[in-house]
A = this chain, B = another copy of it.
Amino acid sequence: MAGKKKKVVLKNYVSGFPKLSDFEVVETDDAIRSVPPEGSEAVVVKNLYLSCDPYMRHLMSTNKEPLRMESFVLGEAIKGFGVSKVVASGHPDYQVGDYVWGFTGWEDYSLIDKPQALFKINHTADVPLSYYTGLLGMPGLTAYAGFYEKCSPKKGEYVYVSSASGAVGQLVGQFAKLMGCFVVGSAGSDEKVELLKSKFGFDEAFNYKKESDLNLALKRYFPQGIDIYFDNVGGATLDAVLLNMRNHGRIAACGMISQYNLDKPDGVYNLGTIISRRVEIKGFAVFDHYSHYPQFVETITQYVKEGKIEYVEDAAEGLENGPSALLELFDGRNVGKKLLVLDRE
């Protein structure tokens, strides 16, 4: 652990779309982080894979409302979910050599003071470690809890997923197909649309950027209406969906990426339909569902081994490419789950 290491830092708080110049990759001396402080329960981890997730946009600003999490500290390594290996531990639950996933830093090594939400990985050769940044980690559990718990899906229901090729969306669509639902996804490029249909088994998919009227597009794909909308984008898409919900429909409000870079959010005008159609809109956050992680990981690992779930990653390499990898999320350049590889071990 000797020598100079790198970290990705935020230089200034962001308004509007984040830019590469808002970030800096700086050299850091990790030596001081190589052992936990005497008597503490901290662990030190070597970071292997870092997860690029839309919620991180909130942490680039000082407005804490969106997630009520601490914003990034300027000049320090930004934070996010990642897969790491324990290299020193003062905590009885974590041993040197353990693979873990959880909230860590965008740097080579991180000191984690309070490892309560650090999940141990039961690593086996048939599932790549990187999957714990997505399919088997936070985004996977998000898809699982949001779809099965918040949407109460039933066989034969009509399901729409926005941002459908992303880390969460691709899984929601596949869960819905496994449940016997009719599933339509939208994404922002023809390449992604093709992926949804050919790889993930969506019944239909469309490029929302090519639709001049989302309401009409949804009426085309769902002439009978939508039972379940898994919302990753909010804004105008949510508004159009509200005109197309069926009676007793459910909307899982998972994310609103279309709104994250706006100074003033878009208005949503069609909420009146939730009364006439008795629709429920359910905001949720994955950390309320951590207790379901063991059941989740067992189920999904089995699905992966049986070939029932496909999963597409979009990996960038090295901390120096961290900022550009992260920013791809906000102009939709990533295809599949975006992550950053530091060390493939």
Q: Mark A255-298, 1 if CB is under 8 A from B, else 0.
A: 11001000011111111111111111111110010000000000
Within 8 A of B (CB), among A224-283: 234, 238, 253-256, 259, 264-283
Question: A66 at interface (Cβ–Cβ under 8 A)?
Answer: yes
- Shortest CB-to-CB span from A270 to chain B, Å, is 7
Residue from the list B253, B269, B273 in contact with A275, Cβ < 8 A:
B253
Q: Are B285 and A271 in contact (CB under 8 A)?
A: no
- When A282-B280, A283-B279, A283-B280 are in contact, do A272 and B259 touch as well, CB less than 8 Å? yes
CB-defined contacts of A272 to chain B, threshold 8 Å: 65-66, 234, 256, 259, 265
Question: A68 at interface (Cβ–Cβ under 8 A)?
Answer: yes
Q: Are A281 and B274 in contact (CB under 8 A)?
A: yes
Question: A67 at interface (Cβ–Cβ under 8 A)?
Answer: yes
CB-defined contacts of A269 to chain B, threshold 8 Å: 264-268
Looking at A277, A282, A285, A288, the one whose CB has the most chain B CB atoms below 10 A away is A282
Q: Are B276 and A65 in contact (CB under 8 A)?
A: yes
Distance A280 CA – B149 CA, assembled complex (angstroms): 13
Q: Are A254 and B281 in contact (CB under 8 A)?
A: no
CB-defined contacts of A68 to chain B, threshold 8 Å: 276-277
- When A267-B267, A267-B268 are in contact, do A278 and B273 touch as well, CB less than 8 Å? no
Distance A136 CA – B256 CA, assembled complex (angstroms): 42
- Shortest CB-to-CB span from A62 to chain B, Å, is 15
Q: Are A278 and B285 in contact (CB under 8 A)?
A: yes
- Shortest CB-to-CB span from A149 to chain B, Å, is 12
Q: Mark A71-107, 1 if CB is under 8 A from B, else 0.
A: 0000000000000000000000000000000000000
CB-defined contacts of A264 to chain B, threshold 8 Å: 269
CB-defined contacts of A253 to chain B, threshold 8 Å: 271, 274-275
Residue from the list B67, B255, B276, B281 in contact with A280, Cβ < 8 A:
B281
CB-defined contacts of A234 to chain B, threshold 8 Å: 271-272
CB-defined contacts of A273 to chain B, threshold 8 Å: 65, 283
Q: Are B284 and A275 in contact (CB under 8 A)?
A: yes
CB-defined contacts of A265 to chain B, threshold 8 Å: 269-272
- When A259-B272, A272-B66 are in contact, do A283 and B277 touch as well, CB less than 8 Å? yes
- Shortest CB-to-CB span from A115 to chain B, Å, is 24
Distance A265 CA – B268 CA, assembled complex (angstroms): 9
CB-defined contacts of A288 to chain B, threshold 8 Å: 278
CB-defined contacts of A254 to chain B, threshold 8 Å: 275
CB-defined contacts of A279 to chain B, threshold 8 Å: 283
Residue from the list B275, B276, B283 in contact with A274, Cβ < 8 A:
B283
18 CB contacts below 8 A, A to B, read A66-B275, A253-B274, A255-B275, A264-B269, A265-B270, A266-B269, A267-B268, A267-B269, A268-B271, A271-B281, A274-B281, A274-B283, A275-B285, A277-B283, A278-B284, A278-B288, A280-B283, A281-B281
Since A259-B272, A265-B269, A275-B283 are in contact, a sample of 15 more A-B pairs with Cβ atoms closer than 8 Å, ordered by chain A residue number, is A66-B272, A68-B277, A234-B271, A238-B271, A253-B274, A256-B272, A266-B269, A267-B267, A267-B268, A267-B269, A274-B281, A275-B285, A276-B283, A278-B288, A280-B282
Q: Which residues of A contact B (CB under 8 A)?
A: 65-68, 234, 238, 253-256, 259, 264-285, 288
